[in-house]
Amino acid sequence: MLTTSKEILLKAQAGGYAVGAFNVENMEMVQAVAEAAEELQSPVIMQTTPSTVKYAGLDYYLANVKTAAERTSVPVVMHLDHGNSFELAMQALRAGYTSIMIDGSHEAFEVNMTVSRAVANACHPSEVPVEAELGKVGGKEDDLDGGDDNPYTDPQEAKEFAERTGVDFLAVGIGTAHGVYKGEPKLQFDILSRIRDVVEIPLVLHGTSGVPDEAVKECIKRGICKVNYATDLRIAFTKGVKGVFTADTDTIDPKKYSAAGREEVKKYVMSKIKVCGSAGKAQK
The residues carrying an active-site annotation are 81
DSSP label at 267?
Answer: H
Q: How many CB atoms lie within 10 A of CB 278?
A: 27
Say if CB 106 and CB 147 are below 8 A apart. yes
Q: How far apart are the first and last CA of the chain?
A: 10
Which ranges in 71-104 belong to alpha helices (H)?
86-95
* Strands 140-141 and 144-145, sheet pairing: antiparallel
Q: Beta-strand (E) ranges in the chain?
A: 2-3, 19-23, 44-48, 76-83, 99-102, 130-134, 140-141, 144-145, 169-172, 203-205, 224-229
* Whole-Å CA distances, 165 to 70, 128, 252, 265: 33, 15, 51, 36
The CA distance from 171 to 135, in Å, is 8
Say if CB 235 and CB 269 are below 8 A apart. no
Specify the DSSP element, H or E, that contains 240: helix 231-247
The CA distance from 29 to 239, in Å, is 13
DSSP label at 168?
Answer: S
**Bridge partners of residue 205, in order along the sequence:** 227
DSSP label at 97?
Answer: -
